[in-house]
Amino acid sequence: MKVVAGVDWSDEAFAAVEQLGLLYKPDDVLLVHGVDLGMFQSPLLAGAANLQGYDEFRRAMLDAGRQAVERGKSVLPADIPSVQTKAELHHAASYILDNAGSSKADLIVVGTHDHSRLAELLVGSVSHHVLLHARTPTLIVKGKARPIGRVLLAIEGRDDAARVRAWLTAHPFRNPVSMTILSIVPSLAMVEPTVMAGYQAWSEEHRRQAEQIVAETAQALAGPRFTVVTDVRTGDPVSAVCAGAAGHDLIIVGSHGRQGVDRFLLGSVSHGIVHRAGCSVLVIR
């Protein structure tokens, strides 16, 4: 398993790296730090602005970045075969995504400062940018690192369940976990539900299919690595998943990968869960 983890000097970043070591035993970890100097990333612009001490400032920032990834390396378990570090002048989020792509990583790991959704749209954040643009499964770590004992796996349909199940089987957790497999039957927003012809039949059929899918997924995953139970609920998917995650240490959810304007304006269920959940979220793409 190859992992790329973004590191800066925040407590959240080091917690994310520590959480990686608690959750997985990867074969190869690359810790990266993009040193973003903003408009002064280019020496030509710095020269045009007559920025005094630019070379010393640039070197100091690079040195700080290299120290950050080395500190990140120190919090990983010693049983990981390969841990490498990189720090270069680059936009932080893009640097994480570029390295994940070039190394063909199986997982990206980032910590989050847990900004509000509006704040992220206005000022941006590394975790927000990575979550929106990554093509690689992404672990968003919230809060302090902790042992993962209870996991909520939220699945939508049969294809989603098969994709997530295949990824979990190929990349097992370091230790066995207790897993709740949850599917949500969406509730239809309407003034008077009884006037919608076929609503009751639709809801019952959707629930029957959801129960079948979670049962199939439980049967496929049950074993030494996973102790499984199932749950099917009705409601708004984001709210219902976050409510179902109470008492769990990690949420796993699939992503359909919205593209273009939809990704920025409409968001997605997985994105909504990341923002509202009280624990870390693994988004499998």
Q: Which residues pair with 165 in a beta bridge?
A: none
Confidence of residue 197 (pLDDT cuts 50, 70, 90): low
DSSP calls for 116-148: -HHHHHHH--HHHHHHHH-SS-EEEE-SS----
Mean pLDDT within 80-105 = 96
Q: Are 129 and 158 in contact (CB under 8 A)?
A: no
Residue 268: pLDDT over 50: yes
pLDDT in tens, 12-52: 999 999 999 999 999 999 999 998 776 555 555 445 445 56
Q: Looking at the chain, how many residues does it have?
A: 285
Decide which of 61 and 268 is more confident: 61
The pLDDT of residue 91 is above 70: yes
Q: Is the pLDDT of residue 80 over 90?
A: yes
Q: What is the pLDDT of residue 74?
A: 96
Q: What helix, strand, coil percent values describe the chain, rounded to 5?
A: 45, 25, 30
Instruction: Give 203's pLDDT tier (boundaries 50, 70, 90).
Output: confident
pLDDT at 190: 47
Is the predicted pLDDT of residue 10 greater than 50, yes or no?
yes
pLDDT at 271: 85
User: CA 218, CA 228: separation in Å to the nearest integer?
Assistant: 6
Q: What is the mean pLDDT of the chain?
A: 85
Q: What integer pLDDT is reported at residue 219 of this predicted model?
A: 96
Percent of the chain with pLDDT over 70: 81
120, pLDDT greater than 80? no
- Quickly state the pLDDT bin for 152 (edges 50, 70, 90): very high
pLDDT for res 122: 36
- pLDDT value at residue 195: 54
Token pair recorded at residue 147: 């042992």
